[in-house]
Structure 1
């Protein structure tokens, strides 16, 4: 199951047990997203545009949401790109500057808590407000607090990561996993599975143990796939936040062994997803959920398989981690 790719001995090919399907609106989404990024100010220089285009997050989203309508795909591409821009704004020298991380996070967290923009919002905040507003419009009121909370988790995690880099101490697996589930943006990205596709998973369905375990396993698989392909870039930047490095330190093993353990963690998470899918219907019945809530839970559990296969395919094709550098996104979005 572990095959080495042409990228080198430390970047394995990965076969996950889920199909890859591509949304037919991918090319239109690329065009719409670039227009949106320029219109909001996320992209304002030729260098920004080249870097932004190289990520090709529209391709990731097209596999993530193969059945979503065009406006749902557009929303998800905008959200994924916002997260990537925010990530890049913490690269280079800024990666160890905790005051900078707090200065970046505080206005965003205030907006997410209050729902109100400051008097002179930055392009970063204007773009986020546009995304969150569209998410709320497509979601029932009971989901609004969760949507804002998951965005806040992502933003706040950068302050914690910066402190870790300043301290330079290795993380345990459990410390890393808890933080990575937030800084990886996966909860807010998996929110978009239902939001972009235009259905709703109720709080009752989310409380079913099989659903919770399935959701957590999907998040783990997505995060760890990212780690598997991004670690050369993070190593070049001196960043310890990667499962490969966590395994290497915890088990005192070779790099290749740590990569193998990461592959095993991904495949274990995929296997657990399949197991929990088989248990979900009985779990929903035991919770006495009405048929429409069971249907929503089952659709979501099925749709969660596509982000896994899309993440693998995109990592192998995207320019996001093509070079292990620590270049910083150029726009003055932090001003």
Structure 2
């Protein structure tokens, strides 16, 4: 089949990079290689190097302290290692064995209840315990409760995906878009914005519908960008759990048309995010400062996902896709009343972007 070009995706946010990203990246690879028992010539070690998770976190959290950035990089590496274990398509993977995946998730979820790892638990379970201890030392009990809830949702969603894979029938568009928010792990990653900033968004702001919509827009935009970049990998492995392939199946599109439609959906989320940001009310000076830093973290995530994915070896397994992206460079955002601006475009057959 002919090579497909990744569509241009709308991104009016500035790129950023923590000055210590490379240092944090290498130190995290060394730690995880030790914990996992990887030697430099092992495929696992090379995958850690190619993943460049320190650079992803450096783009998402360019102003975090060095210690915090190291912790977040270690956690992100854990999440990707766990995701890879779940989604391996060979005999060692869990993606086609939901019962075994559930048992593995149960062992990890014991840690969320405060139970220490057991002797038979592997390095990923023990690593999660170590990371949770580091997060508990930085955040309140209320934040930790929210974070563990999102992590439990992620574990449960991976079992749903494994069950869906074994059934063989691709999910419908509505089911996939709802569950992809959870299998992406992005609600977990969004929670870490507060860790990076050393602050917490108060409940009064978190309950604001516009801010909640901005979180959903961010989660969706990152998930759709991930599906666009990872399409070659899914095609290679015969996995239909990808927005592009779900849209293709639903609407009878060509692969190129489905790619463009997925990009349209990504762009609609970004535009709706901007509209919501302009309409956010004030919560008072102190709360506004925390909310502003949180919103900047959401913006960094959406831009970082595009920049990191475009150069990352993790998404170069499929030869069907060009490895380049043409993200729109930084430009002034629209100004004036949110009410006066045009509504964000809708992808064919979808509800209003950013609304669950």
Q: What is the TM-score when the length of structure 1 is the normalising length?
A: 0.88
User: Which shifted more, 13-22 or 185-194?
Assistant: 13-22
Q: Which residue number corresponds to residue 102 of structure 1?
A: 102
Which one of 13, 21, 30 corresponds to residue 25 of structure 2?
Answer: 30
**Alignment CA distance shift 1:177-1:44 (3 Å):** farther
Superposition pairs of residues 50-65 of structure 1, within 5 angstroms: 50-65=46-61
Q: Which residue number corresponds to residue 268 of structure 1?
A: 268
| Secondary structure class of the residue paired with 1:14 | coil
Q: Which residue number corresponds to residue 88 of structure 1?
A: 84
CA deviation after TM superposition for structure 1 residue 82, in Å:
0.8
| Secondary structure class of the residue paired with 1:320 | helix
| Secondary structure class of the residue paired with 1:100 | helix
**Alignment CA distance shift 1:71-1:14 (3 Å):** same
The Cα RMSD (Å) is 1.8
Say if 1:231 and 1:242, in contact at 8 Å, map to a contact too: yes
Superposition pairs of residues 144-155 of structure 1, within 5 angstroms: 144-155=144-155
CA deviation after TM superposition for structure 1 residue 112, in Å:
1.6
Distance in 2, matches of 1:105 and 1:24, equals 36
**Alignment CA distance shift 1:252-1:42 (3 Å):** farther
Aligned length: 313
Superposition pairs of residues 1-335 of structure 1, within 5 angstroms: 8-41=3-36, 43=38, 46-90=42-86, 91-93=88-90, 94=93, 95-280=95-280, 282=281, 285=282, 289-324=283-318
Distance in 2, matches of 1:272 and 1:115, equals 41
Distance in 1, matches of 2:26 and 2:182, equals 29
Distance in 2, matches of 1:315 and 1:255, equals 20
Say if 2:25 and 2:54, in contact at 8 Å, map to a contact too: yes
Distance in 2, matches of 1:101 and 1:27, equals 34
Q: What is the TM-score when the length of structure 2 is the normalising length?
A: 0.83
CA deviation after TM superposition for structure 1 residue 207, in Å:
0.4
CA deviation after TM superposition for structure 1 residue 15, in Å:
4.0
In structure 1, stretches of 5+ residues that fail to align are 1-6, 326-335
Distance in 2, matches of 1:115 and 1:200, equals 26
In structure 2, stretches of 5+ residues that fail to align are 320-356
Distance in 2, matches of 1:211 and 1:120, equals 42
CA deviation after TM superposition for structure 1 residue 317, in Å:
0.4
Instruction: Name the one with the larger helix percent.
Output: 1
Distance in 2, matches of 1:202 and 1:44, equals 45
| Secondary structure class of the residue paired with 1:21 | coil
Distance in 2, matches of 1:109 and 1:320, equals 27
Distance in 1, matches of 2:101 and 2:212, equals 31
Say if 2:221 and 2:269, in contact at 8 Å, map to a contact too: yes
